[in-house]
């Protein structure tokens, strides 16, 4: 069963709010995002781009809990620990612009 446009918009908004909340917490702590946070934010952004909002929320739950990165993804460059909060915010803005 297809979701109504309002339900899709609400799910999308929930994912965006979770990403923004995590980035705000990291920023207020005056620390860079961890590899785990980076990995799961990237995962959530990719899932969000294809409309898989429940899966994107699950990815953000993993980021919030700092669950380990899956072993098959541990050496991916997208978990580069030099990624900044600003870069993640830019990626979020790009995902939102592309979803427009």
The pLDDT tens digits of the residues spanning 10-43 come to: 999 999 999 999 999 999 999 999 989 999 999 9
CA distance 92 to 69: 20
Q: What is the DSSP string of 7-32?
A: HHHHHHHHHHHHHHHHHHHHHHTT-P
* Closest-CA residue to 85 (of 41, 30, 34, 23): 23
> What pLDDT score does 82 carry?
79
pTM above 0.85? Answer: yes
């Amino acid at each position: 069963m297809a979701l109504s446009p309002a339900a899709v918009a609400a799910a999308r908004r929930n994912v965006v709010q979770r990403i923004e909340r995590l980035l705000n917490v990291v920023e207020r702590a005056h620390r860079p995002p961890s590899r785990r946070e980076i990995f799961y934010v990237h995962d959530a952004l990719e899932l969000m781009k294809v409309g898989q909002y429940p899966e994107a929320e699950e990815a953000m739950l993993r980021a919030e809990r700092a669950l380990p990165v899956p072993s098959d993804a541990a050496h991916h460059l997208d978990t580069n620990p030099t990624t900044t909060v600003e870069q993640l915010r830019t990626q979020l803005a790009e995902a939102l612009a592309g979803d427009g």
